[in-house]
Amino acid sequence: MKKAFKRAIALGSGIAGAEYLRRRLVRPHPRYEPWERAPYVDFPNKVLVLGGGFGGYTAAKTLCRLTRHRDDVGVMLISRENYFTFWPMLATVISSDTETRNIAQPLRRSLIALGASFRRAEVEGLDPERQTVRADGQEFPYDQLIIALGGEPAYFGIPGVQEHCISMKGIRTAEEIRNRVIERYEEATLARGEVPDSKLTFVVIGGGATGVETASELHALVHDVLPSDYPNIKPSRVRIVLVESHREILKELDPVLRRAARKKLADLQIEVLNNVRAKEVTKDRVILADGHEIASENVIWTAGARASGKLEALGLPYDERKGLTTDPCMRVAGYENIWAIGDCAANVDKNGNPVPPNAQAAVQEGRAVARNVLAVMDGREPEPFEYRAMGQLVELGSRFAVDEVMGIRFSGFLAALFWRATYLYKTESPQNRARIAADWLLDLFFKPAVTEIRGDR
- Residues whose CB falls within 8 Å of the CB of residue 352, separated by 6 or more in sequence, listed in order: 328
Amino acid found at 115: G
Q: Cα angle vertex 280, ends 276, 284, to 5°?
A: 110
Q: How far is Cα 212 from Cα 302, in angstroms, rounded to an integer?
A: 9
Query: What average pLDDT does range 445-449 have in this prediction?
Result: 83
User: Which residues are CB-neighbours of 354 under 8 A, at least 6 positions away?
Assistant: 322, 346, 347, 348
H or E, element range at 437: helix 430-443
pLDDT band at 376 (very low <50, low <70, confident <90, very high): very high
Distance CA 339, CA 432 (A): 31
Q: pTM, whole model, 2 decimals?
A: 0.89
**pLDDT confidence of residue 291:** 94
What pLDDT, in 10s, does the model give residues 241-255? Answer: 999 999 999 999 999
Least confident of 31-45, 67-81, 265-279, 392-406: 31-45
Helix (H), strand (E) at residue 416: helix 413-426
Residue 76 amino acid letter: M
Three-state DSSP state, 354: strand
- C-alpha pair distances (Å), 187 with each of 181, 192, 195, 203, 446: 10, 9, 8, 19, 26
Beta-strand relationship, 318-319 and 132-135: unpaired
| Contact by Cβ (8 Å): 204, 211 | yes
Confidence of residue 442 (pLDDT cuts 50, 70, 90): confident
For residue 377, is pLDDT > 60?
yes
Q: Is the pLDDT of residue 14 over 60?
A: no
Give per-residue pLDDT as tens, 255-294: 999 999 999 999 999 999 999 999 999 999 999 999 999 9
What was the pLDDT predicted at 304?
86
CA angle 247, 218, 194 (to 5 degrees): 110
- Whole-number pLDDT of residue 5: 47
What domains are there in the chain, each with its CATH number?
31-153+306-377 (3.50.50.60), 161-303 (3.50.50.60), 391-445 (no CATH)
The answer to whether 424 touches 86, Cβ cutoff 8 Å, is: no
What pLDDT digit, counting tens, does each position of 309-345 carry? 999 999 999 988 889 999 999 999 999 999 999 999 9
Residue 366 pLDDT exceeds 50: yes
Query: How confident is the model at residue 27, as a pLDDT?
Result: 45
Euclidean distance between CA atoms 239 and 223, whole angstroms: 11
Dist. CA 109–CA 428, nearest whole Å = 11
Question: How many other CB atoms are there within 10 angstroms of residue 401's CB atom?
Answer: 27
Average pLDDT, the chain: 90
